[in-house]
Amino acid sequence: MLSFKKKQYSFWFKNGLILVFLFLFVISLIGQTFNGWKEFNDFLGEYNQPSITYSSYLISGHFIQATFENWESEFLQMALFVIFTIFLRQKGSSESKSCEEPIVEPSELKPHSDSPWPVKKGGIWLALYKHSLSISLLLLYILSFILHWYGSWLNYNLEQKLNQKSLETFLQYGSSSRLWFESFQNWQSEFLSVFAIVFLSIYLRQMGSSQSKKVNAAHSETGE
């Protein structure tokens, strides 16, 4: 029994969720970069251009655009979901607060012995900390969007150069349909996935998951 408890509360057990997703992220990113590098060199070959090295590919517009185009939509989705769930409700969904819950609970601002230090400090630190999740996600979205814009611009101008067409400045490219098509095609899929989990969690269950209501919970029961 003692050995079981020790294993149960090991570092790996307590951090398994983020470690597994971090591992999947790294593996996926390696797969993306390797195959993207091969695809990009095939593209260059069509124009009789020399192949580039793997390290050079990691600073190319092709890689930057493809990577941050996806990150941008993920962080936008998460930021809006965090913000909208403050005041919007969906009866029966495990992803929503109950209709009876207030928008905020003033009691959660009262510090206790193991509260994070900004809560104990109060003032501007608490004012920032109580919105720190949404602020961080929005900043990550903005940074990802700018990098997507930059990578897409580099990629576009490379194609223009290879086809002996005129180039665009970074700001000019900001109004291009290509940039916004890349963004909207990712945004719509992220918003659809949020709709799906919010709606499906009303009627469907996954025993053991914190993202699902209990199997025997009524469809009308709201929250986890």
State pLDDT tens for residues 51-74.
999 999 999 999 999 999 999 999
- Highest mean pLDDT pick, 40-49, 111-120, 212-221: 40-49
Cα 25 from Cα 145, distance rounded (Å) = 19
Closest CA to 143 of 83, 64, 84, 55: 64
Closest CA to 155 of 22, 36, 50: 36
Q: Could you tell me if 199 and 95 are in contact, meaning their C-beta atoms sit under 8 angstroms apart?
A: no
Residue 223 binned pLDDT confidence (cut-offs 50, 70, 90): confident
Summary mean pLDDT of the chain: 93
State pLDDT tens for residues 30-50.
999 999 999 999 999 999 999
State pLDDT tens for residues 70-111.
999 999 999 999 999 999 999 999 999 898 888 888 888 899
Residue 8 binned pLDDT confidence (cut-offs 50, 70, 90): low
Please tell me the pTM assigned to this model: 0.91
Q: What angle do CA 131, 145, 154 make, to 5 degrees?
A: 160
Mean pLDDT along residues 127-134: 96
Type of residue numbered 143: L
The pLDDT assigned to 106 comes to 86
